[in-house]
Amino acid sequence: MSEEQKFRNQCNKEVKQQEQSKTFQSITREWVNESIKTNYSYHFEWLGRPIIQYPQDIIGTQQLL
């Protein structure tokens, strides 16, 4: 098995653990709810322009384009 496949297998294992973890899910929901209350997504810029979205969303959009 290649190193890349080992890495992918490890990632898949970890994602399954995260899916099954009630603690992980609870903390995630709590973080998202707090970020909404404090307008977290309003505090970022892209190429000097304000954006109203989470930074990981804009990176994903860039990768798609």
Percent of the chain with pLDDT over 90: 68
Number of structural domains the chain divides into:
1
pLDDT at 14 over 90: yes
pLDDT on residue 65: 83
pLDDT band with cut points at 50, 70 and 90 for residue 30: very high
In a domain, 15, yes or no: no
Q: Between the CA of residue 47 and those of 32, 50, 58, 62, what are the distances in Å?
A: 25, 9, 11, 12
Residue 54 in contact with residue 41, Cβ under 8 Å?
A: yes
Helix (H) / strand (E) element for 2: namely none
- Domain membership of residue 51 (yes or no) is yes
pTM, rounded to two decimals: 0.63
> Tens of pLDDT along 37-47?
999 999 998 88
**pLDDT on residue 34:** 96
State the residue range of the domain holding 35.
Answer: 21-65
